[in-house]
Amino acid sequence: MIKKGNRPQQIKEQLEQVLRPQDADAKISVKQTSLGWLYLHIITSSFEGKSDIEREEQIDAALEKLNLRVGGFPFANFMLHTPQEASEYKPMQAIEIPLWSEVLMAPDPDIPAPLDKHTESKSPLIITFYSFKGGVGRSTALAFVANILATREYRVVMIDFDLAAPGLSVMFPANALAPDKYGVVDYLYQRFLDQDENRPNITECTRRIETPTDGELYLIPAGEYNEDEEGYVHRSADLGMHPLYQLNNNPIHQLFNDIKTSLKPDIILLDASTGFTEVGAVALLDQADLGILCFSPATEQSFAGLKWVVKAAKMQRSYRGIPDLRFLLTPMPAVAAIQQQVWIARASEWIANNWEIPPSVTIDELYYQVPYNPHITTLASLASDMPPGILEAYIPLADAITARVPKKCPPISKLADQRVEEV
């Protein structure tokens, strides 16, 4: 019996020992997933003239010493090719459906993306705010950062991608929202039913938030709650991410393309759902250039769930170069300074042990602290002037975001003008 940690190397050595005397050029690749499953790819001329069953029996015999069979655990998949077959085989270069299980089950890519790829400036920059558990101020953090960015004259689009428990819309006054009732669910649902139907269009799903600054702030809500037969609950329940990604024209990708074309934002902020939901995976693993993981360092539960989120993000980054991650420690309870230092030290050590840090970044640049502030719950609106001291804790995170945006976009027409022209 072999030890779990040595499986890939021991399997490779065992197969080389058996196959190399028959074919000195035999190639064996054994890759392990984040969940411990293995992907096996063997290329050897000793498979010439043999059926698939005969090849499998040949490898099973070679692995008998290790008490393993390619058709069982721990093999998730195996490919047994001749050199000619291998020359015609095109390995998958991306994870086609970016959901938790698919990403965690994917083998390491043949050529991992460079770690420092994310340092390049990009516009629009897409940032997903994610938390494994609720109650850590994720949506509030997104809204505050959006306000700070708007004061710096950026054009910012907020998207409520927490379809199961939308919250961004209630953080802004009703008079800041346009009369349209559409949102993300309406947009995706209609295009799932009919890909050729451009209703509602993106301007009908977008609200302009009035701010006392020169920047521009927009909100695309999840949708309006109602309980009729065609209501929000029914439409959101019918939306599965797997079917959307199997369409020729992916409605999620179309949504972001329409936002970029219509609004020309500098920055897009996504509020993702908690836990291992499909829509949360799409927001973090498919769309985000940068993921902001919000959690409380005071509880062990935060670290336990976040471990798999970080593993999935690390695997996806090895394929695509994104998402990069930053960590928001929130809310930090008002306790003695020595206890705060213990929590921060534990969080810092955990991040260093679980997230692969690029050479150009130090561990202190990976996390930000937000103290608990009871005054936040008394705010009537997040679109008005903030009381002193509310936003200061979020400024370092906003600074890190603006450092990645190359330049501000030129002014565009207001949405009301666009709607008039469309009519």
Residue 415 has pLDDT above 70, yes or no: no
Of 412 and 389, the structure prediction assigns the larger pLDDT to 389
Q: What is the pTM of this model?
A: 0.80
Average pLDDT of the residues of the chain? 85
- The rounded distance, in Å, linking the Cα atoms of 79 and 374 is 58
Could you tell me whether strands 216-220 and 207-209 are parallel, antiparallel, or unpaired per DSSP bridges? Answer: antiparallel
- The rounded distance, in Å, linking the Cα atoms of 311 and 354 is 8
Contacts 24+ apart (CB under 8 A), 22-31: 22/46, 25/83, 27/86, 31/107, 31/108
Give 341's contacts (C-beta < 8 A, 6+ positions apart). none
- The rounded distance, in Å, linking the Cα atoms of 358 and 114 is 9
Of 115 and 314, the structure prediction assigns the larger pLDDT to 314
- The rounded distance, in Å, linking the Cα atoms of 253 and 266 is 18
- Nearest to residue 244, comparing CAs of 236, 253, 256, 234? 253
55-69, 205-219, 319-333: range with lowest mean pLDDT = 205-219
Across the range 384-399, mean pLDDT stands at 81
150-164, 176-190, 197-211, 322-336: range with lowest mean pLDDT = 176-190
Instruction: For residue 210, give both structure tokens.
Output: 């009035």
- The rounded distance, in Å, linking the Cα atoms of 285 and 81 is 32
Q: How confident is the model at residue 421 (pLDDT cuts 50, 70, 90)?
A: very low
166-to-85, 158, 170, 191, 414 alpha-carbon distances in Å: 50, 12, 9, 21, 25
What is residue 420's predicted lDDT score, i.e. its pLDDT? Answer: 41
- The rounded distance, in Å, linking the Cα atoms of 398 and 394 is 6
Across the range 328-341, mean pLDDT stands at 84
Of 153 and 33, the structure prediction assigns the larger pLDDT to 153
Across the range 269-292, mean pLDDT stands at 95
Across the range 181-208, mean pLDDT stands at 88
Give the percent of the chain with pLDDT over 90. 49
Across the range 330-348, mean pLDDT stands at 86
The pLDDT tens digits of the residues spanning 34-47 come to 778 888 999 999 99
What is residue 413's predicted lDDT score, i.e. its pLDDT? Answer: 47
What is residue 292's predicted lDDT score, i.e. its pLDDT? Answer: 97
Q: How confident is the model at residue 53 (pLDDT cuts 50, 70, 90)?
A: very high
Residue 315 has pLDDT above 60, yes or no: yes
108-117, 149-158, 258-267, 402-411: range with lowest mean pLDDT = 402-411
Give 73's contacts (C-beta < 8 A, 6+ positions apart). none
What is residue 416's predicted lDDT score, i.e. its pLDDT? Answer: 42
111-115, 141-145, 339-343: range with lowest mean pLDDT = 111-115
Cβ–Cβ < 8 Å for 205, 180: yes
Q: For residue 388, count other CB atoms closer than 10 A to its CB.
A: 8
The pLDDT tens digits of the residues spanning 348-367 come to 999 999 998 888 889 999 99
Cβ–Cβ < 8 Å for 107, 36: no
- How far is C-alpha 208 from the geometric centre of its chain's CA atoms? 26
What is residue 70's predicted lDDT score, i.e. its pLDDT? Answer: 93
- The rounded distance, in Å, linking the Cα atoms of 405 and 318 is 23
Cβ–Cβ < 8 Å for 332, 371: yes
- The rounded distance, in Å, linking the Cα atoms of 263 and 10 is 54
Q: For residue 133, count other CB atoms closer than 10 A to its CB.
A: 17
Residue 104 has pLDDT above 60, yes or no: yes
- Please compute, for residue 110, the number of CA atoms within 13 A of its CA located in the half-sphere on the CB side: 9
66-80, 264-278, 375-389: range with lowest mean pLDDT = 375-389
What is residue 422's predicted lDDT score, i.e. its pLDDT? Answer: 44
Rg of the chain over Cα atoms, rounded to whole angstroms, equals 25
Q: Which domains does the chain have, with CATH numbers?
A: 4-91 (3.30.300.90), 115-422 (3.40.50.300)
- The rounded distance, in Å, linking the Cα atoms of 373 and 15 is 60
Matching residue, tokens 């959101």: 236
Which DSSP letter does residue 179 get? S
- Nearest to residue 219, comparing CAs of 176, 252, 185? 176
The pLDDT tens digits of the residues spanning 205-255 come to 999 888 777 789 999 998 876 555 457 777 777 788 888 988 889 999 999
Contacts 24+ apart (CB under 8 A), 189-193: 189/235, 189/236, 189/238, 189/239, 191/249, 191/251, 191/254, 192/238, 192/239, 192/243, 192/244, 192/247, 192/251
- The rounded distance, in Å, linking the Cα atoms of 341 and 345 is 6
- The rounded distance, in Å, linking the Cα atoms of 416 and 179 is 11
Of 377 and 92, the structure prediction assigns the larger pLDDT to 377
What is residue 61's predicted lDDT score, i.e. its pLDDT? Answer: 95
Residue 179 has pLDDT above 80, yes or no: no
Residue 81 has pLDDT above 80, yes or no: yes
- The rounded distance, in Å, linking the Cα atoms of 331 and 308 is 22
Name the packing angle between helices 184-193 and 251-263 (round to 10°).
Answer: 130
What is residue 414's predicted lDDT score, i.e. its pLDDT? Answer: 47
Q: Return the top range by mean pLDDT from 192-196, 201-205, 220-224, 410-414.
A: 201-205
Across the range 23-37, mean pLDDT stands at 88
* Helix (H/G/I), strand (E/B), else coil: 43: strand
- The rounded distance, in Å, linking the Cα atoms of 127 and 323 is 9
